[in-house]
Amino acid sequence: MAKTAFLFPGQGSQFAGMGKAMADEYPIAKAAFEEADDALGFSISKLCFEGPEDELKKTENTQPALVAVSTAHCRVLMAEKGIVPDIVAGHSLGEYSALVASGSLEFGDALRLVRKRGQYMQEAVPLGVGAMAAILKMPLDALDSVLAEAGQGEIVTAANLNSPDQIVIAGHAAAVGRAMELAKAAGAKRCIPLPVSAPFHCPLMSPAQQRLKADLDATVFHDLKFPLVNNYAAQLVATGAEARQGLYEQIPNPVQWIASMRLIIAEGAETFYEAGPGNVLAGLLRNIDSARAVTPFA
């Protein structure tokens, strides 16, 4: 039987004004933003709806803002449209939104966790020490050798295995720069430095992982109402303990998005919704499997 999957975007999908039209149209979305404001003790809704952009881009703000918008969107899909997922996945930060949707995490707990996650990630590496870059259309079999040669005693690893045509790398700034040059020589079509404040999903994030552990351990995780495919191992998760462990492991490890989408498709998903702002995940899905498409939100 054909299944429905909800996909939840991560950092990079945010923009000033996101969620406002939805909150204006749907009382259930407006209520979700009010709940988010109460949980955080400040108006994350105002930041989503009005910006300013430079405040919204701060990692500690971006992360709860995206969880708020994604959760509001998910509630509209489920309560207003009557669409219930059979399986969920979230890209990096989006895994928290996916766990809220599945009933594993309480909305307020997820918002508070990701605000701390953003702070810890920002503080793990001094500004300018780390970097990230997108490598476009490089043969995947060349990736390991490029990263090994670029290291020279520093860290540079795959951070997001997004699609066959897009790999994001992260690590020390100089090592990322060397990897970009080597990737071009190995046949990459383009290498694009990313405007991020920290090198996410690489071993330089280990201090953030250790700091977040106490917060994760202190948070209640329920067993899931429907399964999630996690980032860290691209495996199906059904219990609260597995969900908590996945959020811990994802911080210094790459997002296995290609494998995650292939597993969701293998599990029978034929209808996909991107619950959150933008359409980044729709583009990645098309690139992973051209026969699949995200259904537009209407």
Q: In the annotation, is 97 catalytic?
A: no
**Rounded CA gap, 189 and 22, in Å?**
38
Nearest to 274 by CA among 119, 132, 91: 91
Contact 93, 130 (CB under 8 A): no
Q: In the annotation, is 73 catalytic?
A: no
Q: Which two tokens stand for residue 9?
A: 């975007």
Residue linked to tokens 């597993």? 263
The strands making up 228-229's β-sheet, listed across from edge to edge, are 236-237, 228-229, 87-90, 3-8, 269-274
Q: List Cβ neighbours of 221 (8 Å cut-off, separation of 6 or more).
A: 99, 104, 105, 240, 241, 243, 244
Please report which residue ranges of the chain form alpha helices under DSSP H: 20-25, 27-40, 44-50, 53-56, 59-75, 94-101, 107-124, 143-151, 173-185, 206-217, 240-250, 257-266, 280-288
β-pairing, 130-136 vs 166-172, is antiparallel
Q: Which two tokens stand for residue 156?
A: 């540079």
Per annotation, catalytic residue among 13, 197, 201, 260: 201
Per annotation, catalytic residue among 70, 92, 104, 163: 92
Instruction: Tell me whether residue 115 is exposed, middle or buried, using C-beta atoms within 10 angstroms of its C-beta: 0 to 12, 13 to 18, 19 or more.
Output: buried
DSSP 294: B
Q: Is the dihedral of CA 120, 195, 251, 180 positive or negative?
A: negative
Active-site residue list: 92, 201
